[in-house]
Structure formats: C-alpha cells, structure tokens
Amino acid sequence: MIADVQVVIADDNYLLREGLQRLIELDPDMRVLAACQDMADLLQTVDRLEPDVVVTDIRMPPDHTDEGVRAALAIRHKHPHIGVVVLSQYASPTYAITLLGDSTDGIGYLLKDRITDAAQLKAALTAVTSGGSVVDSDVVQALIGARSGSGRSPLSELTDRELEVLAAMAEGRSNGGIAAQIHAADRTVEKYISSIFSKLGLAHQTNVNRRVLAVLTYLAETDPDRSGAAQAS
C-alpha cells in the first residue's frame, strides 16, 4: 500500500472539482495538493509541486476539446514518474489509443460515472502511481467491439502458446523477456506476436497501438468480472 499519495486535480467545473477533492481525501492515505481549472494552470502546478498522480478532466479551457489528453501526454513525457488519470464523460476509443499510444505505464482513463466509488477511484490512483495502467471497461469494449460482434471471444483463434505470449505481453514484458520466459528465440516470439495481431484483427494498426489493443483485448476477455476497469502493469 502506498502511503500519503499526493494528488493534483484539474477540472473547470467548481462543483466537480470540489467533489472530487472531497472524495479523494476521504482516504487518509491520499492528499490533494492543488485543484486547477485549466490546462496551463495544471502544467505549471505539476512542474511546481511534482505530485504522485494527476486526475484531470479530458475537456478544459481554453478550447474544451482534448486538453486533458494533451496535458497527460506532456506530464508523462516531462515527469515519467507521475501517474495520470484522465476522466471523460464518454467512452472514446480515440482518446484511449492516443493516451496509450506511446506507453501504458502510469496512465488511466476512467468514465466520470465511475468516480462516485471511492474504493475504485483509490484503486485506480494507486495503480497508476505504481506505474500500472487502468482503462475503463466500457472503453475496452468499444476498442474491441468491432472484432467481437459475432459473440465469439477474440481470443478463441489463438493457440495455447500464443495465449501464453499474449499473457506475458499483458504483464509488460518485452519481446526479449517473453523469449526468456517461454524458452524461445526472439524471432520465434516475433512470429507469435505477428500471428496474434493478425488473428485479433490488428494487422493494419500501427505497431504500438497493436500491442496496446492486444493487451486490452486479453484483459477484457480473461477478467470479465471486473466491474469498473481493465488494468495492465
């Protein structure tokens, strides 16, 4: 358990900002250092205070578009030790892929209606603070929905060895790490991964996004009882 997690929050809505702060501070192990109203204020505050984790709305001034996503990417680039949880009203696969496109480490994407659950919010903050990632299950389903419309599991076409490789990918292992784990050559692992991408319908995605989407598919299918989000570390 991480003690005294220091949090900076950002939302241009005063009531939501206050409610989020009170919800977080119900837990004695968490402390809100600052509450920001826009992207510029958030980035300056993070530079100054260097919290453990940031919780930000996806749309803020000045344009109310994707400021939260852009802030998350900027924070993770400049302060890779700081986790970021982005809150959205909608399950947007585009935002999720943008957030997770470079790395799944320390990133969360939750729907706003999840954050009324203090325990689940704490779990998400703790996960990203530890370098893991949390993606709302509705977003995961939106990401893989086109490939699972038949009702069959997207994983049903994978061989046992391919499932083993995909599970290792979900644990955050590199190709070399997977090769060592399954006692295979690096080129063999590359062939397994290429086959996995093909069978999951990811052959035409970019390389980074294919890996992220494959892992999210695995998590969604192998842990269906999760009520809120799929996690990868």
Q: Which two tokens stand for residue 105?
A: 């480490």
Alpha-helical runs (H) found in 9-78: 14-24, 39-49, 67-78
Q: Tell me if 233 sits within 8 A of 171, measured CB to CB.
A: yes
pLDDT at 56 over 90: yes
Domain(s) of CATH 3.40.50.2300: residues in the chain: 5-143
By residue count, the chain amounts to: 233
Q: Tell me if 89 sits within 8 A of 114, measured CB to CB.
A: no
Confidence of residue 144 (pLDDT cuts 50, 70, 90): low
Assign a CATH topology to domain 5-143: Rossmann fold (3.40.50)
- pLDDT given for residue 233 in this prediction: 42
Domain(s) of CATH 1.10.10.10: residues in the chain: 147-226
CATH class of 147-226: mainly alpha
As a whole number of angstroms, the distance between CA 117 and CA 199 comes to 36
Question: In angstroms, what CA-CA distances link 195 with 99, 108, 129, 168, 233?
Answer: 25, 28, 33, 15, 23
pLDDT at 230 over 60: no
What's the whole-model pTM score? 0.68
Report the SS3 class of residue 40.
helix
124 residue type, one letter: A
As a whole number of angstroms, the distance between CA 16 and CA 144 comes to 31
Percentage with pLDDT > 70 across the chain = 79
Q: Report pLDDT digits (tens) over 64-87.
A: 889 999 999 999 999 999 999 999
pLDDT at 57 over 80: yes
What is the average per-residue pLDDT within 212-227?
Answer: 62
Q: Tell me if 53 sits within 8 A of 128, measured CB to CB.
A: yes
Q: Report pLDDT digits (tens) over 158-187.
A: 899 998 998 888 776 789 989 999 999 999
Cα distance between the two ends of the chain: 16
Average pLDDT in the chain: 82
Q: Report pLDDT digits (tens) over 4-38.
A: 899 999 999 999 999 999 999 999 999 999 999 99
What is the average per-residue pLDDT within 222-226?
Answer: 47
